[in-house]
């Protein structure tokens, strides 16, 4: 009995299945590594240790606080807000962090696509229109609070990636 092409296909089938799984695990590992890198960059900025990420500061309520259960879409929306806030700051300390957030969003989009999640919706940044006035009044405070809360949010994202977040 001849089963040449069929046997070859059956022999290659496990290899083909592993290729997809390895790439998703690689993306997840790269995502975790980038999150750890961003957290380290934030820690290297000396003045970010002055404020707790849970502390409430009047006038800075537009900066996202911690969310206990982050889905991939909620992670993306949160990163969009943080990137918008950081790019509005004149500080040189946050330029690389803002670029890293964009790369992190790209990795999250790949993870979402691998889970057949719908594409992320555009975030509502209209609520941040008054950001410039607040920034003029308190540049330093905004930077410290934003970086502190971002660091806490990234720790939460890291934990959620270990669990396997939903769409």
- The enclosing H or E element of 147 equals helix 139-163
59 conformational bin, left if phi > 0, alpha if psi -120 to 50, beta if neither: left
Closest to 74 in 3D by CA, of 127, 153, 146, 148: 153
Residues of the chain with pLDDT under 70: 1-22, 46-66, 122-139
- The enclosing H or E element of 87 equals helix 72-88
What's the confidence (pLDDT) of residue 40? 94
What's the confidence (pLDDT) of residue 53? 47
């Amino acid at each position: 009995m001849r089963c040449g092409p069929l046997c070859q296909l059956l022999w290659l089938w496990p290899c083909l299945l592993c290729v997809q799984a390895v790439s998703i695990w690689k993306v997840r590992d790269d995502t975790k590594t980038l999150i750890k890198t961003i957290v380290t960059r934030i820690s290297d900025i000396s003045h970010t240790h002055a404020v707790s990420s849970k502390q409430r500061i009047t006038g800075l309520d537009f900066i996202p606080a911690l969310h206990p259960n982050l889905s991939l879409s909620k992670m993306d929306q949160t990163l969009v807000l943080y990137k918008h806030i950081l790019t509005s700051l004149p500080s040189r300390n946050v330029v690389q962090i803002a670029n890293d957030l964009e790369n992190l969003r790209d990795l999250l989009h790949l993870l979402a696509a691998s889970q057949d999640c719908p594409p992320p919706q555009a975030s509502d940044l209209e609520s941040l229109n008054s950001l410039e006035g607040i920034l003029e009044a308190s540049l330093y405070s905004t930077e410290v609070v934003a970086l502190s809360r971002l660091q806490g949010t990234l720790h939460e994202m890291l934990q959620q990636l270990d669990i396997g977040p939903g769409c």
